[in-house]
Amino acid sequence: MWTDPIADLLTRLRNATANRAATVKVPRSKVKLAICKVLMEEGYLSAVESIDDANQGFLRLTLKYGPRGERVLNALDRKSKVGCRWYVGSDEIPQVLNGLGIAVLSTSRGVMSDRQCREANVGGELICTVH
């Protein structure tokens, strides 16, 4: 049993990009699916497939690489952890790499990127930063 399934998702993505893997398989949950959809909308993943099996199901994530094989997903940093949750207001959302990266937040309106949160003027739990 994992104590932090979101950290497990981020670690699997980090390891897959380090190994130049084409796809990665992770156990499915609603929060993981929402985080992966945000990453796909922002251009860090090519595809997100939800596949059913006898248990909880899994997600097949297709990673994205540049035209010469360079990584698009360079760093994933978990911010809000199990022992120390990190909540930010709409005016306190950090800019990652001066706007070149994104922050993923869990808000009352669902999981959103920092750009979407600023447009909607909502804050929430800062899940991770990506660049």
- What pLDDT is recorded for position 120? 97
d(CA 92, CA 66): 32
Q: Each residue's pLDDT tens digit in the chain (131 positions)? A: 478 999 999 999 999 999 999 999 999 999 999 999 999 999 999 999 999 999 999 999 999 999 999 999 999 999 999 999 999 999 999 999 999 999 999 999 999 999 999 999 999 999 999 99
Q: Considering the domain 5-130, what is its CATH architecture?
A: 2-Layer Sandwich (3.30)
- What pLDDT is recorded for position 42? 97
Does residue 125 contact residue 80 with C-beta atoms inside 8 Å? yes
Q: 30-51 burial, b if ≥16 CB within 10 A, otherwise e?
A: eebbbbbebbbebebbeebeee
Q: In Å, how far are 3, 22, 131 from 81, measured between CA atoms? A: 10, 28, 19
Best CA proximity match to 124, nearest among 84, 80, 83, 81: 80
Residue type, 10: L
